[in-house]
C-alpha cells in the first residue's frame, strides 16, 4: 500500500521529538513525517527572515509529499514564521509552539514564573502578546538560553549552562518554570535537579499535541493511517545522536536533500528534487553531470571546471571512452570517475547546440534522460545536474532548465530509481531561480 505522511513535525533538529511522542499518544495510527532541518538549524541562531524563508521552502516541499498539516515544533521558528506561513500557504493548517505562559500564570502561587527560551523566541511579537494577554499580573523572569539547544542537539554536557540560566529564576522565587524551546524537555531531569522541590516545570508538548489533533479533525486530516513515522533530515549526514537519549538514538534518518539556501524543493515518489546554487565540482554527491561536447574535449564552461577539479583522470578516461565508443551521440551518456572531486562519477552528456531550425527540445530531453538512466545504471543515490546547453551552446536558459527538470521528473515519476536526491545546479542565483521556477511548474501543472 502506498502510504505517505499526512502530518509533518518540523524542528531544526531533535527538539521536536517530544511533540511527536505526544502526538503519537493521541493519534497512534497517524502517518507522520518528522523533519529535522539539520542542513539549516538551529533556528534560534538565524535571523527572522532566514527562518521565514526556510520554513516556507520546507513546508512547500512537504505539500508536494502529500502532507496536509504541519506542526512547527520549534518555538523560535513559530515566533519567526508562523504568521508568515499562514499567509503564504492559507490552504495548509499550521500548528505552532508558544511558551506555556498562560498555564504558568494560572498555576503560580508565588506570583513569579520563569521562562527559558531562545533569544529569537523572546524577540518575536508572539511572546509579548502572550504575556500581555495572559500574564500581565505576574512577575516573569525570562532567560535567553544561548547555546543550550545546540548543546542538547550535539549531546554535550549542559550542566554549567543550566546552572547559569536557572539561577536568576530560582533567586527570584519562581515556583513555575516554562520550557520554552522543544529541545529543553530532553534535559528535563537535569533542569528539575537544579530547582527547589515543589517547583512546577511545564513542557508544552502535550498541549501542542492536543491542538494538533483538534486542528486535524477540523481540517479533515485522516489520522487513521498505518501509524508510520518517516524520519527525514535535510542534511546528508545528521550529527550523531546523543548517546544517553534512548528515545532518539538509533533513528534511521532518511535524507531529504534540501541544502541551506535552496529556494525550492519538491518530492517526486521517493526522490527529492532541489534547485541549488554552487560549483558542481565541489558537491558531495555520487554523480555530477557534465555538459560535454560529442568529442568529450573539455575546453570550456562546466566541462573545463570538471576537467580541472577532477584532474588528469577526467581527460584520460574521456579519451579512452571516445577510443572505445566513438563520438557521444545524443541520447548517450559517457561515464568516467570524478578523479579528485568529492563526487564519485561524472556522467557526460552532450546537449544540443541551439539552432532555430533544429528540434532542440527533444535533443536536450534525450541528453537529460541519458544522464538519469546512467545514474540508475550505476545505482547512484544522489546526483547534481547543471544547466546543460544553456551556456556556450546558446539554449535559452528558461527553456533549457524547464526541459531538463521536466524530463528528469517524468522519468522519476514513472520509473523505479536508486536516486533519493537530484540537485539542479545554477552557477549563479539567476539560473538557480530558473530551475526553481521549473520545479514550481511541475507542482502547479502536474
Ligand atoms: N558548476 C555548475 N555550473 C557551472 C559551472 C560549475 N563549476 N561552470 C559553469 N556552469 C554553468 C554555466 O554557467 C551554464 O549555466 O553550466 C551551464 C552550462 O554551460 P556550459 O558549460 O557552457 O555548457 P553548454 O552550454 O552545454 O556548452 C557545452 O561548452 O564547456 C564546453 O566542452 C563543452 O563544448 C561543450 C560546450
CATH number of the domain within which 392 lies: 3.40.220.10
pLDDT at 98: 84
281 pLDDT more than 90: yes
Predicted confidence (pLDDT) per residue in 48-89, tens digit: 899 999 999 999 999 999 999 999 999 889 988 999 999 999
Q: Is the CB of 290 under 6 A from ligand 1?
A: no
Rounded CA separation 432/262 (Å): 9
**Which residue of the set 162, 181, 205, 209 is catalytic?**
181
Residue 215 and residue 199 in one domain: no
Predicted confidence (pLDDT) per residue in 202-221, tens digit: 999 999 999 999 999 999 99
Residue 293 and residue 404 in one domain: yes
| Closest protein CA for atom 35 of ligand 1 | 293
Q: Is the CB of 42 under 6 A from ligand 1?
A: no
Residue 285 and residue 358 in one domain: yes
Residue 381 and residue 237 in one domain: no
| Closest protein CA for atom 14 of ligand 1 | 391
Residue 184 and residue 123 in one domain: yes
Is 74 noted as a catalytic residue in this protein?
Answer: yes
Residue 248 and residue 296 in one domain: no
Residue 106 and residue 93 in one domain: no
Residue 1 maps to a domain? no
Predicted confidence (pLDDT) per residue in 184-193, tens digit: 999 999 999 9
Cα–Cα–Cα angle for 262, 287, 344, rounded to 5 degrees: 125
Residue 366 and residue 285 in one domain: yes
| 67: three-class secondary structure by DSSP | coil
Which of 391, 394, 397 best tests ligand 1's pocket when mutated (most atoms within 8 Å of CB)?
A: 391
Please tell me the distance between residue 352's alpha carbon and the centre of ligand 1 in angstroms. 12
Residue 12 and residue 54 in one domain: yes
| 364: three-class secondary structure by DSSP | helix
291 pLDDT more than 80: yes
Residues whose CB is less than 8 angstroms from the CB of residue 446 and which lie 6 or more positions away in sequence, other chains included? none
248 pLDDT more than 70: no
| 425: three-class secondary structure by DSSP | strand
361-397: buried (b, 16+ CB within 10 Å) or exposed (e) per residue? bebbbbbbbbbbbbbbeeebbbbbbbbbbbbebebeb
Range of the domain at 341: 264-444
Dihedral sign from CA coordinates of 14, 20, 22, 24: negative
pLDDT at 252: 79
Q: In total, how many domains does the chain have?
A: 3
**In terms of C-beta density within 10 A (0-12 exposed, 13-18 middle, 19 or more buried), how is residue 96 classed?**
buried
Residue 394 and residue 413 in one domain: yes
Rounded CA separation 313/344 (Å): 12
Give the pLDDT band (50/70/90) at residue 239. very low
Q: Of 204, 224, 242, at which residue does a domain stop?
A: 204
pLDDT at 246: 41
Check residue 294 and report its DSSP letter: T
Q: What's the pTM?
A: 0.90
243 pLDDT more than 50: no
Residue 313 and residue 424 in one domain: yes
Residue 438 and residue 322 in one domain: yes
Ligand 1 atom nearest 279 alpha carbon: 1
Q: How far is CA 87 from CA 18, 84, 159, in A?
A: 27, 5, 40
378 pLDDT more than 80: yes
Pairing assessment for the beta strands 229-233 and 254-255 based on DSSP bridges: parallel
Is 145 noted as a catalytic residue in this protein?
Answer: no
Give the pLDDT band (50/70/90) at residue 164. very high
Long-range contacts (CB closer than 8 Å, 24 or more residues apart) made by 191-196:
191/116, 191/162, 191/166, 194/162, 194/163, 194/166, 194/170, 195/166, 195/170, 196/170
Q: Is the CB of 279 under 6 A from ligand 1?
A: yes
| Closest protein CA for atom 33 of ligand 1 | 292
Any idea how long the chain is? 446
- What value does the mean pLDDT of the chain take? 93
pLDDT at 238: 47
Measured in degrees and rounded to the nearest 5, phi and psi for residue 116 equal -95, 130
Q: Is the CB of 306 under 6 A from ligand 1?
A: no
Residue 189 maps to a domain? yes
Q: What's the mean pLDDT in 94-103?
A: 92
Which of 386, 403, 405, 435 best tests ligand 1's pocket when mutated (most atoms within 8 Å of CB)?
A: 386
Q: Is the CB of 363 under 6 A from ligand 1?
A: no
Measured in degrees and rounded to the nearest 5, phi and psi for residue 35 equal -110, 115
Least Cα distance to 145 among 192, 196, 182 occurs for 182
Are 219 and 68 in contact by the 8 Å Cβ rule? The answer is yes
**Window from 93-102, 115-124, 158-167, 388-397 with minimum mean pLDDT:** 115-124
pLDDT at 46: 85
Which CATH number belongs to the domain containing residue 163 in this structure?
A: 3.40.50.1860
Please tell me the distance between residue 25's alpha carbon and the centre of ligand 1 in angstroms. 53
Q: Is the CB of 391 under 6 A from ligand 1?
A: yes
Q: Is the CB of 310 under 6 A from ligand 1?
A: no
Rounded CA separation 231/266 (Å): 17
For cell 551556456, the residue is 391
Q: Is the CB of 299 under 6 A from ligand 1?
A: yes
Are 234 and 35 in contact by the 8 Å Cβ rule? The answer is yes
Residue 2 maps to a domain? no
Q: Is the CB of 425 under 6 A from ligand 1?
A: yes
Please tell me the distance between residue 274's alpha carbon and the centre of ligand 1 in angstroms. 19
Amino acid at each position: 500500500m502506498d502510504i505517505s505522511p499526512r502530518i509533518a513535525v518540523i524542528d531544526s533538529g531533535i527538539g521536536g521529538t517530544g511533540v511527536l511522542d505526544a502526538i503519537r499518544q493521541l493519534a497512534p495510527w497517524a502517518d507522520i513525517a518528522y523533519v529535522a532541518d539539520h542542513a539549516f538549524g538551529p533556528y534560534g541562531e538565524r535571523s527572522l527572515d532566514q527562518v521565514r524563508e526556510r520554513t516556507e521552502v520546507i513546508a512547500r516541499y512537504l505539500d508536494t509529499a502529500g502532507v496536509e498539516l504541519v506542526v512547527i515544533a520549534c518555538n523560535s521558528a513559530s515566533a519567526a514564521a508562523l504568521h508568515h506561513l499562514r499567509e503564504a500557504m492559507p490552504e495548509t493548517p499550521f500548528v505552532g509552539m508558544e511558551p506555556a505562559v498562560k498555564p504558568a500564570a494560572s498555576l503560580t502561587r508565588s506570583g513569579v514564573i520563569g521562562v527559558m527560551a531562545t533569544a529569537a523566541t523572546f524577540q518575536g511579537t508572539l511572546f509579548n502578546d502572550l504575556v500581555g494577554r495572559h500574564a500581565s499580573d505576574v512577575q516573569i523572569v525570562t532567560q535567553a538560553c544561548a547555546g543550550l539547544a545546540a548543546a542538547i542537539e550535539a549531546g554535550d554536557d549542559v550542566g554549567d549552562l543550566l546552572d547559569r540560566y536557572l539561577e536568576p529564576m530560582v533567586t527570584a522565587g519562581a515556583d513555575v518554570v516554562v520550557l520554552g524551546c522543544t529541545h529543553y524537555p530532553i534535559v528535563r531531569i537535569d533542569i528539575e535537579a537544579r530547582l527547589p522541590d515543589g517547583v512546577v516545570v511545564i513542557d508544552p508538548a502535550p498541549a501542542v499535541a492536543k491542538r494538533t489533533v483538534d486542528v486535524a479533525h477540523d481540517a479533515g486530516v485522516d489520522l487513521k493511517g498505518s501509524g508510520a513515522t518517516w524520519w527525514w533530515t535535510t542534511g546528508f549526514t545528521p550529527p550523531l545522536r546523543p548517546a544517553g537519549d534512548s528515545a532518539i538514538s538509533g533513528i534511521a534518518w532518511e535524507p531529504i536533500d534540501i541544502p541551506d539556501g535552496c529556494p525550492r524543493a519538491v518530492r517526486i515518489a521517493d526522490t527529492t528534487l532541489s534547485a541549488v546554487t554552487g560549483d558542481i565540482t565541489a558537491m558531495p554527491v555520487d554523480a555530477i553531470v557534465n555538459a560535454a561536447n560529442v568529442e568529450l574535449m573539455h575546453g570550456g564552461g562546466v566541462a573545463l571546471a570538471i576537467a580541472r577539479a577532477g584532474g588528469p583522470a577526467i581527460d584520460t578516461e574521456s579519451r579512452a571512452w571516445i577510443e572505445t565508443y566513438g563520438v557521444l551521440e545524443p541520447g548517450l551518456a559517457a561515464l568516467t570517475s570524478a578523479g579528485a572531486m568529492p563526487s564519485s562519477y561524472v556522467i557526460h552528456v552532450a546537449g544540443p547546440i541551439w539552432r532555430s531550425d533544429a528540434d532542440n527540445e527533444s535533443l536536450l530531453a534525450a541528453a537529460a534522460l541519458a544522464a538519469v538512466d546512467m545514474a540508475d545504471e550505476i545505482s547512484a543515490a544522489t546526483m547534481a545536474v547543471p544547466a546543460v546547453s544553456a551556456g556556450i551552446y546558446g539554449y535559452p536558459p528558461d527553456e533549457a532548465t524547464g526541459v531538463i527538470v521536466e524530463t528528469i521528473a517524468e522519468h522519476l515519476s514513472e520509473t523505479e530509481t536508486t536516486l533519493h536526491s537530484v540537485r539542479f545546479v545554477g552557477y549563479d542565483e539567476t539560473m538557480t531561480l530558473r530551475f526553481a521556477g521549473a520545479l514550481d511548474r511541475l507542482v502547479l501543472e502536474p
